[in-house]
Amino acid sequence: MAFDLNSLLAFIIFGVTIGVVYGIVALGISLIYSGLDIVHFAHGEMYMFGAFFGLVLAENVGLPYPVALVGAMIITAVVGMLVERVFYRRLTRAGGGYTVAGMGMIICGFGMSVAMVNVAYFIWGAEAEPFRANLDYIPRLQFPGDIEVPESYVLTAIISVILMFTLHYFLRYTKPGLAVRAVAHNKDIAYLMGINVPLMISLIFGVACALAAAAGVLIGPMQSVQVEMGYLMLMKAFAAAVVGGFGSLPGAIIGGIMVGVFENLGAAYISASHKDIYAFLLLILVLMIKPSGLFGVEAKVKA
Contacts with 177 (C-beta within 8 Å, 6 or more apart), sequence order = 169, 170, 171
Parallel/antiparallel/unpaired status of strands 129-130 and 224-225: antiparallel
Residue 52 half-sphere exposure toward CB, CA atoms < 13 A: 25
CA proximity to 156, closest of 53, 61, 15, 250: 15
Q: Please say which residue, 40 or 302, places its beta carbon nearer to other proteins.
A: 302
225, β-bridge pairs: 129
Residue 30 engages other proteins in binding (rule: CB under 8 A):
no
Q: Which of 98, 196, 269, 270 binds other proteins (CB under 8 A)?
A: 196
Q: Which of 78, 161, 192, 272 binds other proteins (CB under 8 A)?
A: 192
Residue 286 engages other proteins in binding (rule: CB under 8 A):
no
Q: Cα(95)–Cα(56) distance, rounded to whole angstroms?
A: 38
Which stretch, 73-81, 133-141, 182-190, 251-259, contacts other proteins (CB under 8 A)?
182-190
Residues 85-124 interacting with other proteins (rule: CB under 8 A): none
Q: Which of 186, 228, 269, 284 binds other proteins (CB under 8 A)?
A: 186
Q: Which of 2, 194, 289, 291 binds other proteins (CB under 8 A)?
A: 194
Residue 301 engages other proteins in binding (rule: CB under 8 A):
yes
92, 37 Cβ separation under 8 angstroms: yes
Binding site for other proteins (CB under 8 A): 175, 178-179, 181-182, 185-186, 188-189, 191-197, 299, 301-303
